[in-house]
């Protein structure tokens, strides 16, 4: 153990005494692999291969091996990954894309950014994922794609969704920004549909030290097109076939991710350990998250539901326990989507969940003692 790691562990012990809990514990994620990360960064600085350097290629190969996806194309963010996929399938103004209103804004923002229309489908109360049984009634002649979001780290029923898509000739893009590493029927998230997008934003289960993302596809033509779109639509230098974007992943971030991906399986099992502890301590007290038997979650969030959320958050905060709300407002209730003309009551399950959902601290480093402290405080707070 390095000296700095010892100091961090000591600080952590002391912070336990004062009951301070870190929500995502990003400092620890650096400390844990400090030497390798520092060397990886130094290597990039010494080679000055800042754009599309060797570590980017290495990272993409690792992504393919890890997910099983045929093609992995790194890019500048999860948002840009969604844009690349939508642009690759040639989404046009006025096209409709089905998705969930219970997600981060980027999922629907990118659809609207391309002047297509986000069409929302309510969620399941058990997993908070899009309700597959409600998809078909929203399909019209203008529908081009479905974007299921693997919310909080768990993949929705992709077989069911892919089957609908085949029947209606639609594309499926898995928004896997929160589920990188999760499994569904033995296969990895990002390898379950024609397109998948993920994010390496620092607070995601696999995070870099800035913005980053990747888009995955099973189709070689789409892979070629997205590689080009990521580079201003060029096929060779200064010869531009498409209107594209500057959407590359920095070599620095790729070098950091190469280190972090090597130990990511360990992070996943630790997140699963934390989730299991939470569940065992909380199952009688609050509505706990559920994982389908054919799936494993990477626990981007451990989100419970409580009735008196505002007071609960306040009480936990007073005891040094940070919480977060994913998400306080559904997308159909956002000002930027007023033009879609949805109204309150259109998505009753989503609306109910947004009023009750509450995310507890989640990171691979939480100890059983800390989890006990958090859950005991929570049980008192909800009374």
Ligand X SMILES: *Cc1c(COP(=O)(O)O)cnc(C)c1O
CA 123 to CA 130: how far, in whole Å? Answer: 4
Which of 103, 251, 312, 350 lies at the binding interface for ligand X (CB under 6 A)? 103
CB 331 within 8 A of CB 105: yes
Q: Which residues pair with 188 in a beta bridge?
A: 183
The total of other beta-carbon atoms located within 10 Å of residue 91's CB is: 21
What is the closest distance, in whole angstroms, from the C-beta atom of residue 252 to ligand X in the complex?
A: 16
What is the closest distance, in whole angstroms, from the C-beta atom of residue 72 to ligand X in the complex?
A: 15
The CB-nearest residue to ligand X is: 78
Does residue 149 bind ligand X (CB under 6 A)?
A: yes
Using CB under 6 A as the binding criterion, the count of chain residues that bind ligand X stands at 15
Phi–psi pair at 350, nearest 5 degrees: -55, -45
The residue range among 100-108, 267-275, 284-292, 339-347 that interacts with ligand X, by the rule CB under 6 A, is 100-108
* 3-state DSSP assignment of residue 373: helix
Site for ligand X in 21-80 (CB under 6 A): 77-79
CB 349 within 8 A of CB 287: no
Q: Burial-class residue 128 by CB neighbours within 10 Å (0-12, 13-18, 19+).
A: buried
Report the residue number, 268 or 371, with the smaller CB distance to ligand X.
268
CA 41 to CA 23: how far, in whole Å? Answer: 26
Report the residue number, 37 or 197, with the smaller CB distance to ligand X.
197
Does residue 302 bind ligand X (CB under 6 A)?
A: no
**Phi and psi based region of residue 169 (left: phi greater than 0; alpha: psi -120 to 50; beta: remaining):** left
Which of 8, 69, 86, 106 lies at the binding interface for ligand X (CB under 6 A)? 106
CA 131 to CA 122: how far, in whole Å? Answer: 6
Does residue 179 bind ligand X (CB under 6 A)?
A: no
Report the residue number, 177 or 313, with the smaller CB distance to ligand X.
177
Query: Could you give the C-alpha distances from 353 to 22, 204, 279, 285, 289, in angstroms and in order?
Result: 25, 21, 19, 17, 12
Report the residue number, 53 or 78, with the smaller CB distance to ligand X.
78
Does residue 199 bind ligand X (CB under 6 A)?
A: yes
Which of 201, 216, 264, 327 lies at the binding interface for ligand X (CB under 6 A)? 201
Active-site choice (204, 225, 227, 260): 204
Q: Is 317 a catalytic residue?
A: no
The residue range among 175-183, 284-292, 327-335, 345-353 that interacts with ligand X, by the rule CB under 6 A, is 175-183
CA 320 to CA 168: how far, in whole Å? Answer: 51
Does residue 97 bind ligand X (CB under 6 A)?
A: no
Interacting residues toward ligand X by CB under 6 A: 77-79, 103-104, 106-107, 149, 175, 177-178, 199, 201, 211, 213
The catalytic residue positions are 204
């Amino acid at each position: 153990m390095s000296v700095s790691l010892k100091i961090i562990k000591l600080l952590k012990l002391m912070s336990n005494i004062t009951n301070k809990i870190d929500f995502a514990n990003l400092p620890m994620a650096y400390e844990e692999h400090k030497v390798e990360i520092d060397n990886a960064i130094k290597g990039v600085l010494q080679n000055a291969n800042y754009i599309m350097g060797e570590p980017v290629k290495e990272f993409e190969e690792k992504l393919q091996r890890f997910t099983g996806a045929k093609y992995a194309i790194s890019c500048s963010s999860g948002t840009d990954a969604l844009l690349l996929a939508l642009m690759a399938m040639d989404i046009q103004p006025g096209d409709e894309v089905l998705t969930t209103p219970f997600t981060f804004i980027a999922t629907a923002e990118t659809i609207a950014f391309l002047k297509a229309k986000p069409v929302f489908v309510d969620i399941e109360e058990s997993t908070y994922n899009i309700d597959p049984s409600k998809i078909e009634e929203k399909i019209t002649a203008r529908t081009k794609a479905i974007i299921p979001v693997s919310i909080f780290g768990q993949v929705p029923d992709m077989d069911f969704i892919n089957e609908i898509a085949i029947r209606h000739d639609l594309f499926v893009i898995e928004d896997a920004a929160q589920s990188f590493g999760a499994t569904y029927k033995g296969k990895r998230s990002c390898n379950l549909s024609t397109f998948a997008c993920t994010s390496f934003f620092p607070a995601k289960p696999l995070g870099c030290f800035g913005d980053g993302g990747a888009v995955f596809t099973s189709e070689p033509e789409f892979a070629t097109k997205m590689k080009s779109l990521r580079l201003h639509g060029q096929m060779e230098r200064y010869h531009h076939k498409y209107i594209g974007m500057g959407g590359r992943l920095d070599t620095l971030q790729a070098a950091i991710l190469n280190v972090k991906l090597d130990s990511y399986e360990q992070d996943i099992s630790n997140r699963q350990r934390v989730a299991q502890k939470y569940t065992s301590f909380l199952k009688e007290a609050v509505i706990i998250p559920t994982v389908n038997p054919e799936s494993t979650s990477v626990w981007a969030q451990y989100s419970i539901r409580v009735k008196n959320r505002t007071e609960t958050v306040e009480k936990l905060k007073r005891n040094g326990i940070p919480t977060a709300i994913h998400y306080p407002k559904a997308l159909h209730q956002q000002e930027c989507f007023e033009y879609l003309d949805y109204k309150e009551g259109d998505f009753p399950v989503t609306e109910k969940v947004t009023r009750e959902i509450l995310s507890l601290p989640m990171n691979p480093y939480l100890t059983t003692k800390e989890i006990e402290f958090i859950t005991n405080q929570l049980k008192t707070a909800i009374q």
